[in-house]
Amino acid sequence: MIEIPNAEKGKVVVRFAPNPSGYLHIGHARAAILNDEIAKQYNGKLILRIEDTDPGRVDEEAYTAIEDDLKWLGVDWDMKIIQSERLTTYENFAEQLIEQGNAYVCNCEQEKFKALKLAKMSCPHRNLTTEENLKNFEKMHTEDGWTVRIKTNLNEPNPSLVDFPLLRASKEEHPRLKNNVLTLYPLMNLSVAVDDHLLEITDVLRGKDHLTNTEKQKFIYKYFGWNEPNFIHYGIMSIGSEGKISKSEIKKGIDEGKFTGWDDVHLLTLRALKRRGINPQAIRNYMLNLGIKDVDIEFSEEALYFENKKFIESCFRHFFIEDPLGLTIENFPDMVVRFPLHKEHTYGFRTFDLVPENNKINLLIQKSDAEKLKEGDEIRLMNTCNVRIKKADTTTGRVIADYVENSHGPMVEINGKNGEKKKFHNIPKVLWLPEGGGIKAKIYCPERTADGICEIACKNLKENNIIQFETFGFCRVDKVKDNLIEFYFTQR
């Protein structure tokens, strides 16, 4: 349960208010999920508010992408508001502030205004009469360069709180409105305060990065005599590698071909996490664990994987041989080997019928394993049998070995549970598959793309299935092609 001071069941109204400037990422998920949870836990309402009043920061694709990603996250909103459809509402409230004498219309050059502000002096427009300001407000509809500023306190210690802008006239075309005319766009503090008031938001839950905005919005509440909502600011969640969420870097990376799209395996967008097989409920649980505490924290991918593992642990196990190399074993006896699809569940088995020809069997092992081998080494083929290496020259593309009936590998001694000494053969275990009969596989991982062969039982896999490749990690089936399966790496 998220504890909200003075919250009443059935009366809570919260909102999630993203800017449609790109796709949602793990940082947005926190605000979305916590607000959604509050609405659900208190039988309240959640409003989705698309904050698109800065035309320079609008990406048309983002409108539907945001809704799709929220649905995937399990966020249920009761009402959707798009701010660009409400421009006249904000304009009217700005006009009322001018009429009250609490705002003025200014076209001072930015540098000049800034210098006056730092000197704690008012700009010439601040002292005009209400009538003169209303006349200038009219001019705003036809002339570029005007801004409505709220009157705060020239002596505010934080300069950003001094007479901050509320509304600006601009010819910038809005990608959604396709307006080719001078338009009055509100700045976020006006549109946020007006909408939070009109929509009767009871609790504004957002990050501490909005603390100054809250201070600004309180001026607007005060001038209109509105009741303030309950403002709650949770701590900042920093994301170590900013490039994984930064809109500009992602866009640039996509243009330059460094990323395949917004769902590229390297990213922490919700799309990328979905494609990798991260369960949305794992993201929710992670965010609920963080809660609304005001301490700053660092986002931990490991902690998210810990949550996610609970959802995928029981999936099927399979083998994948990366960069396969041939291994011929001589003097090999007939053998049927079975591996469980899961060690703790009775899902059944994958069976390999190993029938030698001329006493030889051909298998595949991973190049990285093969490269460690030298003549005379004894290795254990995973859960099967031991072989001794006869020819280890990997440049020929094939390692030759002999079947070993009784192991003679080097012995090592370890301390047992009760302090007793235990001896066992220290033999490296090597993953294998029969040569021929496997399926080509490609696994997109954050650090590399792994190419190889997966076992024949993978032929039953369907898109979105998650499996664990033993020793490799969990993977989500991304595409099943004619004779290739493409996976996205989920986690270790």
* Interface residue list for ligand GLU (CB under 6 A): 17-19, 51, 192, 206, 210
Nearer to ligand GLU, 17 or 123 (CB): 17
Residues 6+ apart with CB under 8 A from 442: 449, 450, 451, 484, 485, 486, 487
CB of 207 to ligand GLU, least distance (A): 8
CB of 303 to ligand GLU, least distance (A): 24
Identify the residue whose tokens are 């642990």. 313
Question: Measured between alpha carbons, how far is 168 from 147 in angstroms, rounded to an integer?
Answer: 4
Nearest to 481 by CA among 445, 441, 446: 441
CB of 49 to ligand GLU, least distance (A): 8
CB of 285 to ligand GLU, least distance (A): 23
Tell the burial category of 309 from Cβ atoms under 10 Å away from its Cβ (0-12, 13-18, 19+). middle
Nearer to ligand GLU, 206 or 284 (CB): 206
Question: And the tokens for 352?
Answer: 């390999």
CB of 346 to ligand GLU, least distance (A): 48
CB of 211 to ligand GLU, least distance (A): 11
Nearer to ligand GLU, 210 or 284 (CB): 210
Q: Is 80 helix (H, G, I), strand (E, B) or coil?
A: strand
Give how far Cα 49 sits from Cα of 46, 196, 226, Å. 9, 10, 20
Nearer to ligand GLU, 48 or 441 (CB): 48
CB of 192 to ligand GLU, least distance (A): 5
CB atoms within 10 A of CB 164: 21
Question: Measured between alpha carbons, how far is 211 from 188 in angstroms, rounded to an integer?
Answer: 14
Residues 6+ apart with CB under 8 A from 53: 83, 84, 87, 90, 185, 186, 187, 188, 191
Nearer to ligand GLU, 195 or 486 (CB): 195
Question: Measured between alpha carbons, how far is 380 from 430 in angstroms, rounded to an integer?
Answer: 6
Nearest to 409 by CA among 434, 371, 367, 381: 381
Q: How many helices (H) and strands (E) does the chain have?
A: 12, 29
Nearer to ligand GLU, 115 or 211 (CB): 211
CB of 57 to ligand GLU, least distance (A): 10
Residues 6+ apart with CB under 8 A from 92: none
Nearest to 110 by CA among 139, 69, 149: 149
Nearer to ligand GLU, 55 or 438 (CB): 55
Question: Measured between alpha carbons, how far is 397 from 382 in angstroms, rounded to an integer?
Answer: 21
CB of 373 to ligand GLU, least distance (A): 55
Nearer to ligand GLU, 204 or 387 (CB): 204
Cβ atoms of 328 and 401 within 8 Å: the answer is yes
Residues 6+ apart with CB under 8 A from 80: 47, 48, 49, 50, 67
Nearer to ligand GLU, 17 or 427 (CB): 17
